[in-house]
Amino acid sequence: MAKRKSKFVCQSCGYETPKWMGRCPGCNEWNTLVEEVVKTTATRGNWASSPQSTHKPERISQIKSQDEPRIKTKMGELNRVLGGGIVAGSLVLIGGDPGIGKSTLLLQVSSQLASSGLDILYISGEESTRQTKLRADRLGIAADQLYVLSETNLVDIANQIDALKPSFVVIDSIQTVYKEEVTSAPGSVSQVRECTSELMRIAKQNNIPIFIVGHVTKEGSIAGPRLLEHMVDAVLYFEGERHHTFRILRGVKNRFGSTNEMGIFEMKEEGLAEVLNPSEIFLEERSQGVAGSTIVASMEGTRPVLVEIQALISPTSFGNPRRMATGIDHNRVPLLMAVLEKRVGLMLQNQDAYVKVAGGVKLDEPAIDLAVAISIASSFRDQTPNPDDVLIGEVGLTGEVRRVSRIDQRVQEAAKLGFKRAIIPKKNMDGWNPPKSLEVIGVQSVQEAIRVTLGT
């Protein structure tokens, strides 16, 4: 006989407790515990009477391996982030801020796949079919094999997938889908967990790739339990500044490819367009002949990207100087300023520092340290660096410039865009042939790099 009992579940982290508490012990958030009714069935635990599984363990050496066929989209940037295309039977989660372009991207991909002869099912729980049609008209989408459904009941969604047997499915969004057996409201931890588990079963059994859209919290993480990201095969974040037209699709998790890939799009009136050469886009408004501006060659997955780093150093008006950073980890700015003060002798302790990566892109690799340090030193001394220089290298606490990976690809990208000189770690000088049109200079310390770039 079924018994009913209630539990309290945190809507931020999924922590469960039999009684209500004002503060969640799991994530320390206030007023996030919500009561949910759970049905339990009293059964006897008799393992001997349970049916035996038909699956038996196999030797890994005897399992036949084969390349999984991938569905290629017409967006090369999306294919790169996914590891070469969409894998059949995969479950992919896309998250991003409201209005960033998640639905636009998936509707464009659905149209491209439908125009190639595949049956595509686009399920929207937030818009009616007429509203989706209005957005499709604005994007110029009119594919006969693109089917649109406005539904939030998971049972009806599963029945429509089983009846149509599409080649690709989009769920927009997972927070609107509900399962009748779960008593909590749509978007709760239990509903998101159960609905995602059922969609994963549908994707694996029918070998259908399913893309689900996930809302994000004010901290930028995907709403719902962290278990949601563990269940899916790939997690993609759609990023971008609201005041910039560029959007960045970044892979956070991918079972079928690299997690460091980045795809860049530009939002236009007719939808999202690929940016095939992002380095030219990020450098088109570059400031030349101005102190505090340097160029760095950063690796985003397998692609080198040249970005401008700007620094502004000015005397402080407060007791404690300000340290602000946009596009890089704000903790790296005071660290590099401490290295410049201790190893180079720049008195920065009474200076405000503002560091920015131009173009709205975010960089998190250590190879940008040298460019940030030279930008700070350039602005402090009010000396303009050579505009034809590109700087690459990691800076240690003792002031040394350490080697970085894939130096040849970074320098090749700089040479392709017309730069004349590259300042790189001296340990990276051997083992590769630099391009003839570009001079490569190896440095061992930040002081030596400042002497080469600023002339002092």
Q: Based on the domain organization, do 299 and 182 belong to the same domain? A: no
Question: Quick one: 15 and 163 in the same domain?
Answer: no
- 336 within domain boundaries: yes
Helical packing angle, 332-339 and 369-381, nearest 10°: 60
Question: Residue 324 domain-assigned?
Answer: yes
- CATH number of the domain bearing residue 131: 3.40.50.300
Dist. CA 196–CA 328, nearest whole Å: 33
Domain presence at residue 50: no
Final residue belonging to a domain, choices 276, 306, 325: 276
Q: Which residues are annotated as a binding site?
A: 96-103
pLDDT at 222: 63
Q: Is residue 320 part of a domain?
A: yes
| Residue 61 falls inside a structural domain | no
* Full residue range of the structural domain in which residue 12 is found: 2-40
Q: Domain end: 276, 292, 319, which one?
A: 276
Burial (CB count <10 Å: 0-12, 13-18, 19+), residue 419: buried
For residue 439, give the CATH number of its domain.
3.30.230.10
Residue 271 forms part of a structural domain: yes
C-alpha 393/C-alpha 247 separation (Å) is 27
Q: What pTM was computed for the model?
A: 0.76
- Residue that finishes a domain, picked among 245, 276, 307: 276
Residues 187 and 74 grouped into a single domain: yes
Same domain, 126 and 174: yes
User: Are 8 and 98 found together in one domain?
Assistant: no
User: Do 369 and 339 share a domain, yes or no?
Assistant: yes
Residue 113 has what pLDDT? 95
Does residue 214 lie in a domain region? yes
What is the CB neighbour count within 10 angstroms for residue 440? Answer: 18
What is the reported pLDDT for 44? 47
Distances from the Cα of 316 to the Cα of 285, 322, 348, 369, angstroms: 29, 7, 10, 24
Mark whether 266 and 397 lie in a shared domain: no
Query: Do 110 and 186 share a structural domain?
Result: yes
Instruction: Give the residue among 113, 109, 104, 110 at the shortest CA–CA distance from 134.
Output: 104
Residues 124 and 186 in one domain: yes
Helix, strand, or coil (residue 147): strand
Q: How many domains does the chain have?
A: 3
Q: What is the pLDDT, as a whole number, of residue 287? A: 77
Of 234, 237, 156, 160, the residue nearest 195 (C-alpha): 156
Same domain? For 34 and 183 the reply is: no
Do 238 and 329 have their domain in common? no
- The answer to whether residues 206 and 227 belong to one domain is yes
Calculate the dihedral angle through the C-alpha atoms of 247, 215, 326, 410, rounding to the nearest 10 degrees.
Answer: -50
Query: What residues form the annotated binding site for ATP?
Result: 96-103
- The Cα 321–Cα 93 span in angstroms is 41
Joined tokens for residue 204:
């694996």
pLDDT tens, N- to C-terminus, the chain (456 residues): 455 678 888 877 778 888 899 998 888 888 888 887 776 554 444 544 445 656 788 898 888 877 777 899 999 999 999 988 999 999 999 988 888 889 999 999 999 999 999 999 999 998 999 999 999 999 999 889 999 999 999 999 999 999 999 999 999 989 899 998 887 888 888 888 889 999 999 999 999 999 999 887 666 566 555 668 888 999 999 887 766 788 889 888 999 888 878 888 988 888 899 988 888 888 888 878 899 999 999 998 778 999 999 999 999 988 889 999 999 999 999 999 999 999 999 999 999 999 999 877 889 899 999 999 999 999 999 999 999 999 999 999 999 999 999 999 999 999 999 999 999 999 999 989 999 999 999 999 999 999 999 986
Asked whether residue 354 is assigned to any structural domain, the reply reads yes
